[in-house]
């Protein structure tokens, strides 16, 4: 592990203060208050950074930083608690929605979100995911789907597309042997405990704006106490897809989105 990643916020606060050119007069764009100054460890071009920023912007805009508790997964976002400037709990692999349940049940007036990847949410944590949604826990689940295990180095995920090469499917995912890519969001949307379910992406400016709206809804709906808000964000993994960031976003558009189509799967008041 690169030591640079692990330095705490104060180190960077000092650093940035000393070398800052962002004087107030010039400032047109800044980090949200809900992001710490810690530089992210994510690979260049990875969608996690955008997803983090959108969540932080929404928390700022709703003014709920003091009332928000996040749950980080195991996976690339395991260090999410270094970046979100809110109270955070780091869950065991796959258990984030159970941890979020525990928090929300004893602190029902707080805003609680879990942030989980495809391996975490749709493989090892499938049971917790389904039952948290089925109980209608009043939380927001953010599901980052890039079709691959990032942190462990590019193995097959439950959402890996048919024929897609990973380190554990070196000849491409053979669905006869390895099963089919799991559309867990479609499953989730069927459950009466789910109030809002949407699939978004962050690969283009238009998609980013729609993703932010979905995340906004997910937090806002917690005030209604009507059940789970579930937002899938289809993202890229340039490093493990072995592509440049631009190539990966193009590949996402051409291969991921036809299989994982964007849009609301469940909207309050509209039965699908």
Name the residues that contact other proteins, by CB under 8 A.
Answer: 1, 3, 6, 65-69, 71-72, 78-79, 81, 85-92, 95, 98-103, 105-107, 110, 127-128, 131
Nearer to other proteins, 79 or 251 (CB): 79
* Nearest residue to 201 via CA among 151, 256, 246: 256
CB-CB contact of 110 with 103 (8 Å): yes
Nearer to other proteins, 6 or 246 (CB): 6
Nearer to other proteins, 76 or 88 (CB): 88
Closest distance to other proteins from the beta carbon of 9 (Å):
9
Closest distance to other proteins from the beta carbon of 69 (Å):
5
Closest distance to other proteins from the beta carbon of 14 (Å):
16
List of residues 6+ apart from 167 with CB closer than 8 A: 153, 154, 155
Closest distance to other proteins from the beta carbon of 170 (Å):
29
Nearer to other proteins, 41 or 210 (CB): 41
Nearer to other proteins, 127 or 268 (CB): 127
Question: What is the three-class DSSP state of 16?
Answer: helix
* Nearest residue to 266 via CA among 185, 215, 197: 197
Closest distance to other proteins from the beta carbon of 252 (Å):
29
Closest distance to other proteins from the beta carbon of 13 (Å):
12
Please report which residue ranges of the chain form alpha helices under DSSP H. 3-6, 9-19, 47-62, 80-83, 96-106, 118-119, 126-135, 175-178, 184-189, 205-220, 238-241, 245-251, 257-259
CB-CB contact of 158 with 181 (8 Å): yes
Closest distance to other proteins from the beta carbon of 107 (Å):
6
Closest distance to other proteins from the beta carbon of 142 (Å):
16
Nearer to other proteins, 87 or 162 (CB): 87
Supply 139's token pair: 């939380």
CB-CB contact of 238 with 248 (8 Å): yes
76-82-85-88 Cα dihedral, nearest 10 degrees: 70
Nearer to other proteins, 11 or 209 (CB): 11
Nearer to other proteins, 82 or 249 (CB): 82
CA distances from 79 to 26, 88, 159, 206, 269 (A): 31, 10, 22, 28, 36
218-223-228-231 Cα dihedral, nearest 10 degrees: 0
């Amino acid at each position: 592990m690169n030591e640079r990643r692990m330095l705490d916020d104060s180190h960077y606060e000092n650093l940035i203060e000393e070398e800052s050119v962002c004087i107030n007069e010039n400032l047109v764009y800044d980090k949200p208050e809900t992001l710490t100054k810690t530089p992210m460890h994510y690979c260049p071009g990875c969608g996690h950074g955008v997803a983090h920023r959108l969540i932080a912007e929404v928390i700022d805009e709703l003014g709920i930083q003091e009332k928000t508790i996040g749950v980080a997964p195991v996976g690339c976002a395991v260090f999410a608690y270094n970046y979100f400037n809110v109270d955070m709990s780091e869950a065991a692999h796959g258990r984030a929605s159970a941890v979020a349940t525990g928090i929300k049940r004893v602190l029902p007036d707080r805003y609680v979100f879990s942030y989980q990847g495809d391996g975490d949410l749709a493989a090892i944590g499938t049971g917790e995911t389904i039952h948290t949604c089925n109980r209608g826990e009043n939380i927001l689940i953010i599901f980052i789907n890039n079709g691959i295990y990032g942190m462990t180095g590019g193995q097959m995920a439950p959402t890996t597309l048919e024929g897609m090469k990973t380190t554990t499917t070196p000849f491409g995912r053979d669905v006869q042997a390895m099963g089919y890519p799991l559309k867990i969001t479609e499953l989730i949307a069927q459950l009466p405990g789910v109030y809002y379910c949407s699939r978004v992406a962050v690969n283009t400016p238009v998609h980013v704006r729609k993703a932010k709206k979905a995340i906004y809804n997910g937090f806002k709906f917690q005030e209604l106490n009507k059940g789970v808000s579930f937002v899938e964000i289809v993202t890229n993994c340039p490093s493990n897809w072995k592509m440049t960031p631009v190539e990966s976003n193009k590949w996402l558009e051409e291969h991921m989105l036809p299989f994982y189509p964007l849009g609301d799967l469940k909207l309050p008041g509209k039965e699908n």
